[in-house]
Structure 1
Amino acid sequence: MNRQFGSSQPGNNTPGNTQPGSVQSGNMQLGNIQSGNLDVIGRAQGLQIRLKKVGAFFTQEIVYPGETEPLVGGDEQDIHVIVDGREIRSAFTYAGVSQKPQGSLYLQAVLEHADFSVETNFKLSVRNGFLDVETTFMAHKPLVLSTIENNYRFFGAAGVSSAVDAVGAPVGAGDGGEAGSPVPPMMDAKYAWLPHLKKETRHVAGQHSFRSPCAYLQQGADVFAVIPSLTALRESWKNNWGLPAVLDYVEPNRLRLGLATHAASYQPGENLYFSRQPQSAKENANGCGGLTLNQGEKVSYRFSLMLRKDSSGGAGAGAGNAQREIVRFIWEKYGVQLLDEAWHQYLRFDDCARYAYDALFDRYHAWRAFSLHGKDCGGTVALITRKYEGAFQNEKDTKFAGEIPWKQYLLDRHARNRLELAAKWLFEGTLERVYFDARHNNIRTACGLAYFGARWQDQRLLDAARRTVNLYLAAPETADGMRPAVFSIGSRPGWLNGADGWATSEAFGVADLADTGYWLLQYGMLGGEGAAPSADQVLAVCGKIAESILKKQTDAGFYRRYFPGSTAERPLDSASEDMSTLEQRWFSVNATAAAGRFMAAMAQVTGDQHLLAGAMKTARFIADQVLPEHNWSGQSTPIDYYGGLKRQNCSVIYLAADLFRIIAQITGEKGWLDSGIAILDDLLLYQQLWTPSYLLV
């Protein structure tokens, strides 16, 4: 290692040890190297990377072109390490420039400790504005490493000086800063993104969620992103088996990336999250809780930093374009390579489908064929058992909790049927239900059965698709075209109007009806000789559903979770998919997107301009009220989120993107396509790349 300039070793920072002036080499400019001011500055492609001297340490700062205040900084806690159960947060002890064997120059920051050293090197990426960074941890003695992370605080438009001037008081030691350090900017990120759920401070986005990995913060049009290197993780995975990578967000404006022990929990309430593992000296003495390293052994990881700043103060365009750059950067740097290698796919898509249908019919025996009103019917059943009753009820819904099946089945219509179902539950312990709701939709399954049945000339699949559609067409229909979403099997079968996850509801769900109508339309479009029911029959039913949805649309274009009159205007607290605005009160993004997509699809098939107008009204509402805030909440979306993280549901994002796609196809107007792509960018943040083999479980 060739270490120069700015060393804070004893004796090296006294006057006269370093000559005044600046040094330039390629696109690196080292400035302010003079006695009493040992800042080390690298300039490259507009960004200024500053290793600022603070007392005996150096802290990193990144300044955007044309600005003087940093947009991002280490806040004197640049490195977070847990070694042998001891937690250390520190800035760097050395700063300078190093040259790699291949001739590249790096701005270098080093933390020296008696037990270890941490070296971080900054190099500009090939793409403008993306800064490549590499961090290496080296053990000076045998030890157990539990965490090594780079820490960044996003100052946003406030900068450092203005925030300190506004508050002007020190903070205490701990996660907020070292004792006596300036107050961090009191800036809450308008939008914080992690690739996994986070409910509490200890939760992280674990490496298993790195399917389109990045974390970023947005304040106005100022955006800061951290993107881990999948290439580096792939190269070092075997060596770092005990210490996988993590991304983390600490409110209000801090991002972390590195390696840390974490695990998923299977306990109720924790099964959705990755948690940092608690460390103690006792655990490490027993060889647990981290990666054991001998003297001289190293662990490293790489990542990229992106900064974008709209100096004009624009609110939306700059930040939206920055998110698109992040998505494209990840694809071009990693996705294209993985796609070319084809190392991520073990089965062809047809083989995956065959495996699924073998499970449906043969392994899990989830298919039921029967006759109803003289029609051949059937469906894929969900087996609801008393043993797991609590898992399939909405515990916060006092209307149904503890009352299913008794009052739910005995006090509504078809009492004799419900009595039989209740008896089946009590004495046999199992209910078999066929769902036609947005989450578990048998008509969607029927489309897959029909498609692959025709593709493979498999009569069993074609017959199952036909029976499933027959069952839904046999459902009772209200005067305005609404149909129930759940069918319970028995000698006197019963229909239930709506679904709430696995539980049931007497209310007709908007998303349930719209999604079923959409897939019923797709089934009719598949056609085929001798297909029954006919395409005309299917289209007639779809038309009634679409007209009913259009008539119940609000003036603003949105929908609530249930149709008016079937439930209270304000949703239950457990209905986490419902959102509100000052102007529109309560609405459901899931219901709004599903209804809009179905109306747009019907308009595309039939040419109905009224349905197209309804779909466009829905799309405008989503573009104005939902997309700017990234609030894609839907069914089963967890209610409690940490800090500024938003409630998001991938199914809802997909529905909205598809809505804009269909309208763009009908109208040919680029604005609809641009909005759809912006929505799709949100979805690509979840899974843009194939799951790497080393993440499979």
Structure 2
Amino acid sequence: MIQIKPILLSVLVLAGCQSNNQDPFLDIGRTEAPSLFKNLIENIEIESLGGINPKTGLDIIDSSTIRININFTVDELLNDDDWKVTIRPSFQPDFHWSPHLTPTDSHIVPQHVFRAPAMIMTEKVNNQRLAVFPELRSIAASGPKWYMDLNAENNEMILGWSKSKVQEHVLYVKEGGTVYKPDVYNFSFYIKASNTLDQTKNPWRDILAFYWDSFGEKLYKKREPLGTIDLEKYVDHTYQWAFQDWKGVVWQEFELKGKKVGAPTFIVNVSQSPNYEKPPFEREFKSIWNQAWFSSLRSASGLFRYAKRKRDTLLMEKAIMTKELALLFPQENGFFPGIIATKMKDTTVEGSTFRKSKGWDTHYFGNSNRNPFMNPTQIEGIHWGNPDDSPYHILDMSWTANQMLLWYMDLEKDPRLLDYAITYAEQLLELQDKKGYFPGWISVRTHEPMGILDQSPETAMSATFLFNAYKTTKNTKYRDAALKAIDILIKEVVPVGRWEDFETYWSCSSYGNIDLVNKKIGRNNMFKQNNLSTFWTSEALYEAFQITGQQKYLDHGQVVLDELLMTQATWQPPYMYVKTFGGFGVMNADAEWNDARQSLFAELIIKYGKELGSKEYVQRGLAALRASFVMMYCPENPQTKTQWESKHPHFGKEDYGFTMENYGHNGTTSKDGLGIGDFTIYDWGNGAASEAYGRIRDHYGTDFMIDKNP
């Protein structure tokens, strides 16, 4: 084993080889390292590879960044299941960050989730920070698989080579079987060191800038991930698919309380394609959602913009029908459900049983079944609850009421939207606790908080809604309640990264939902985290700054935004078989790339860019918007199209527009279609992306969208 001692970093000292009768002090480099690294690094240990000692070198990038290069020459076939480098700080950190959880010594952060990979340790009293991250150029598609591992308990940051396999959904554990053929193997990584307050308060900013300068801006200037294609073509595909080619499956139209209403259904799958020759089936209950993920009202606002732009009266009628449906969700003392659904029945066709809708005559109202109070029903191995016995979710109601205010402010002054939202706002104020939080879920019957996530960053969505309620009514009680909410998030959530929300534990990634809520994973000193929480919080902080003009809100907002941006892909990995640049992941215990939330995030990133005068943020926001269309099946996406057809060969022209919500969801990919899913959620896929495009185009203009001078 090689040990690099910082006091002798200028000569890169070898140690620990006595058992092999080797000199423990071998001169392997003579580059003088900045003194900052000697002060902050206790040691660096480099293992031999199957008994082969490496050649190492040190490059100084700048006064706060070094690169360590490790090379092995393998002359004959060898096996080494787990080779690694271990970096130990000389200080005791009080904050840790890694892109993925490694709760045991067997778990690792595999290269599959390397979007902007880094491990960070900071100590706030003396403003000490170390960040370690791979040189992405040294990762090859066919070479040994990289990994990282942050062990807070042992004060170690580890990088290495090892195969991995998925365990839980989605964590990774080491797997044996790595074989090294005769060749030269290169392994390089960076270390950033700092002892300034700025880098401790925002430990992500310089890492993000480094990745953007190294990879992101170059890819952006090449017009990645979509090239020079006009995004309007993707929007055209979306609406052609939803309202023409797949109309009979996607568009739902019925009468409710004497009014004709309609919206695209919650979810469809590949078996419902007009090109599918076997009997189709429905993956989940037929429904229409107005929820923080799946928002038919948000998608309808995009359709409204498109119909107005194209002067399409039929599509405008559909957008208005969806608005009317949202207004008919019944309010009880201001609170209202998030779902309208139909009863389902089992139907047997050719010996197979399928679930089918009984039709909208059997409709009922309910709430999102992604919650901790579920009476589970298994769907394709996932246990979801029943919407008709799910509680009210404050987040979902605040989200939908906010969408009503945005429609009112941006699209048309329909007073019913304002009345509905303000009726809810009055009841929401009654739920704010003494600290400033709004609860997670409340009982449909008693309207009392239900005790889980009663003090969480979901509160930020209610704050943003109340800021907009203040904008539309000028009633200061809404502003004051929102600021109280934001102030407690700054105090209690932001500093420790407690990014817990409904998706963190009660989506497909259920790891920790029994024993980790409001608790850190000890080995990582981190909470299980989801980036919807960082988005809502950075959005609310931006609104707080706009309303108050207080710089502290913008400063905190940028910190939270940068933590969010650590989940954005700033490069194109050679082992991903669709374009990934600009797309987002989800959480530190899941594996997707190009997740549909990137269309939700795009404009906020642009807003911060405009406010801060940052070209990087503006480019990141536009890259996120473009990435929102990457997973669409259409000729404009030849790589993606090939992947779709590898997985679903029945796809054809009538399926152009079909858009899976993400890529690599189960933690693996291949050139043969592994990583491609089998469903589309219009309100969390093509419809959502098209809404974001229309909104950003309307707010900033067509020239901004194409960025003529990238």
Q: What TM-score bracket applies, with the shorter chain setting the length?
A: 0.5 to 0.7
8 Å CA contact 2:6–2:39 kept in 1: the answer is no
Superposed structure 1 runs of 4+ greater than 6 Å apart: 59-64, 427-430, 567-570
Residue 256 of structure 1, CA deviation: 1.7
1:255 lines up with 2:168 in the alignment: no
CA distance in 2, matches of 1:568, 1:371: 29
1:78 to 17, 42, 46: 46
Tell me if the contact between 1:118 and 1:136 (Cα under 8 Å) persists in the aligned partners: yes
Amino acid at match of 1:219: E
Residues 1:301 and 2:187 are matched in the alignment = yes
Kept in 2, the 8 Å contact 1:384–1:431? The answer is no
1:121 aligns with 2:57: yes
For residues 42 and 526 of structure 1, the distance between their equivalents in structure 2, rounded to whole angstroms, comes to: 59
Going from structure 1 to structure 2, the CA distance change for 1:66 and 1:488 (only over 3 Å counts) comes to closer
Query: Structure 2 matches for 1:415-494, cutoff 5 A?
Result: 431-479=285-333, 481-489=334-342, 490-494=360-364
CA distance in 1, matches of 2:99, 2:575: 18
* C-alpha separation in 2, matches of 1:67 and 1:497: 53
Q: Tell me, what secondary structure is at the counterpart of 2:116?
A: coil
Q: Give matches, 1:677-688, under 5 Å.
A: 677-687=558-568
What residue number does 2:13 align with? 51
The residue type paired with residue 521 of structure 1 is: L
Question: 2:443–2:450: 8 Å Cα contact kept in structure 1?
Answer: no
1:209 aligns with 2:113: yes
What RMSD, in angstroms, separates the aligned Cα atoms of the two structures?
3.6
Query: What SS is found at the alignment partner of 1:451?
Result: helix
Displacement after TM superposition at 1:207 (Å) = 1.8
Match of 1:41 in 2: 8
Which whole-Å CA distance do the structure 1 matches of 2:440 and 2:121 have between them? 30
Is 1:604–1:662's contact at 8 Å kept on the other side of the alignment? no
Partner of 2:430: 551
**Is the contact between residue 77 and residue 179 of structure 2 (CA under 8 Å) also seen in structure 1?**
no
Q: Give me the whole-angstrom Cα distance separating, in 1, the residues matched to 2:82 and 2:555.
A: 42
Which residue of structure 1 aligns with residue 553 of structure 2? Answer: 672
CA drift of 1:144 comes to 4.4
Per residue, is there more strand in 1 or in 2? 1
Correspondent of 1:588 among 445, 456, 460: 456
- Counterpart contact for 2:36–2:193, Cα < 8 Å: no
Determine the C-alpha separation between the residues in 1 that align with 2:35 and 2:286. Answer: 63
- Equivalent of 1:562 in 425, 430, 441: 441
Cα distance between partner residues in 2 of 1:437 and 1:634: 14
- Mapped to 2, the partners of 1:134 and 1:543 lie a distance apart of 60
> Which residue of 2 is the match for residue 190 of structure 1?
94
Counterpart among 255, 270, 274 of residue 168 in structure 2: 270
- Aligned residue runs from structure 1 range 150-169, under 5 A: 150-157=85-92
SS class of match (1:610): helix
Q: Compared with structure 1, are the counterparts of its residues 632 and 496 closer, same or farther at alpha carbon in structure 2 (3 Å cutoff)?
A: same
- SS of the residue corresponding to residue 57 of structure 2 reads strand
Aligned to 2:136, which of 204, 211, 230? 230
Deviations 1:514-545 (A, max 9, x none): 011111222223326xxxxx522212212222
Flag structure 1 segments of 5+ consecutive residues without an equivalent.
1-6, 9-29, 31-37, 44-48, 84-112, 158-188, 280-288, 311-315, 386-426, 529-533, 579-585
Does the 8 Å contact 1:514/1:595 carry over to 2? yes
CA distance in 2, matches of 1:79, 1:204: 17
Q: After superposition, give the CA deviation of every residue in 1:101-133 in whole Å (9 maximum; x if it has no partner).
A: xxxxxxxxxxxx4xx3422211111x3211112
Which of 262, 265, 268 is the aligned partner of 1:378? 262
Which amino acid is 1:488 matched to? A
Partner of 2:666: none
Q: Quick one: distance in 1 between partners of 2:446 and 2:55?
A: 60
Distance 1:463 1:80, change over 3 A: farther
Structure 2 residue aligned with 1:130 = 65
- What letter corresponds to residue 551 of structure 1 in structure 2? E
- State whether residues 370 and 503 of structure 2, in contact with CA within 8 Å, keep that contact through their aligned partners in structure 1: no
Q: Name 2:464's counterpart in structure 1.
A: 597
Instruction: Go from structure 1 to structure 2 and tell me whether the alpha carbon gap of 1:564 and 1:612 turns closer, same or farther (over 3 Å shift).
Output: farther
> CA shift at 1:373, angstroms?
1.4
Shift of residue 688, structure 1, vs aligned partner: 5.3
In 2, Cα distance between equivalents of 1:635 and 1:629: 18
* Deviations 1:157-189 (CA, angstroms, capped at 9, x unpaired): 4xxxxxxxxxxxxxxxxxxxxxxxxxxxxxxx5
User: What secondary structure sits across from 1:613 in the alignment?
Assistant: helix
Q: Which residue of 2 aligns with 1:409?
A: none
- Residue aligning to 2:486: 619
Alignment check: 8 A CA contact 2:338 2:368 kept? yes
Aligned residues of 1:511 and 1:595 also touching (Cα < 8 A): yes
- CA distance in structure 1 between the aligned counterparts of 2:307 and 2:173, rounded to whole angstroms: 44
What are the Cα deviations for residues 78-122 of structure 1, in whole angstroms up to 9, with x where unaligned?
2264x5xxxxxxxxxxxxxxxxxxxxxxxxxxxxx4xx3422211
Q: Which residue of 2 aligns with 1:33?
A: none
User: 1:206 is aligned with what amino acid?
Assistant: P
The answer to whether the Cα contact below 8 Å between 1:437 and 1:499 also exists between their aligned partners in 2 is no
Shift of the 491–243 alpha-carbon distance from structure 1 to 2, 3 Å rule, reads: same
CA contact (8 A) 1:660 1:675 kept: yes
The 1:333–1:514 alpha-carbon spacing in structure 2 relative to 1, beyond 3 Å, is: same
After superposition, where does 1:59-78 map in structure 2 within 5 Å? 65=35, 71-74=41-44, 77-78=45-46
> 1:508, CA displacement in angstroms?
1.8
Query: Relative to structure 1, is the Cα distance of residues 58 and 507 closer, same or farther in structure 2, using a 3 angstrom cutoff?
Result: farther
- TM-score normalized with structure 1 length: 0.65
Match of 2:232 among 339, 344, 350: 350
Assess if the C-alpha contact under 8 Å between 1:194 and 1:214 holds in 2: yes
Change (3 A) 1:348 1:276: farther
Looking at structure 1, the residues matched to 25 and 301 of structure 2 have their Cα atoms a distance apart, in angstroms, of 61
Alignment CA distance shift 1:351-1:293 (3 Å): farther
Contact 1:39 1:53 in 2 (8 A): no
Alpha-carbon distance between aligned partners in 2 of 1:359 and 1:274, rounded to the nearest angstrom? 37
Residue 229 to residue 655, structure 1, CA distance change in 2 (3 Å): same
Residues 573-613 of structure 1 deviation map (CA, whole Å, 9 limit, x = unaligned): xx5xx2xxxxxxx51221x1111111112223433322111
Structure 2 gaps of 5+ residues are 270-280, 343-359, 372-383, 505-510, 578-668, 670-710
Classify the secondary structure of the residue corresponding to 1:695.
coil
Q: Which residue of 1 aligns with 2:396?
A: 512
Q: Is the CA contact (8 Å cut-off) linking 1:64 and 1:307 kept in structure 2?
A: no
Aligned CA distance change for structure 1 residues 305 and 190 (closer, same or farther; 3 Å) = same
Q: Which amino acid aligns with 1:129?
A: S
Q: Which residue of 1 aligns with 2:142?
A: 241
Cα 1:138/1:352, change in 2 over 3 Å: farther
CA distance in 2, matches of 1:693, 1:488: 42
AA of the residue aligned to 1:466? I
Tell me the percent identity: 20
Larger Rg: 1
Change (3 A) 1:205 1:42: closer
Shift in Å at residue 657 of structure 1?
Answer: 0.4
Partner of 1:393: none
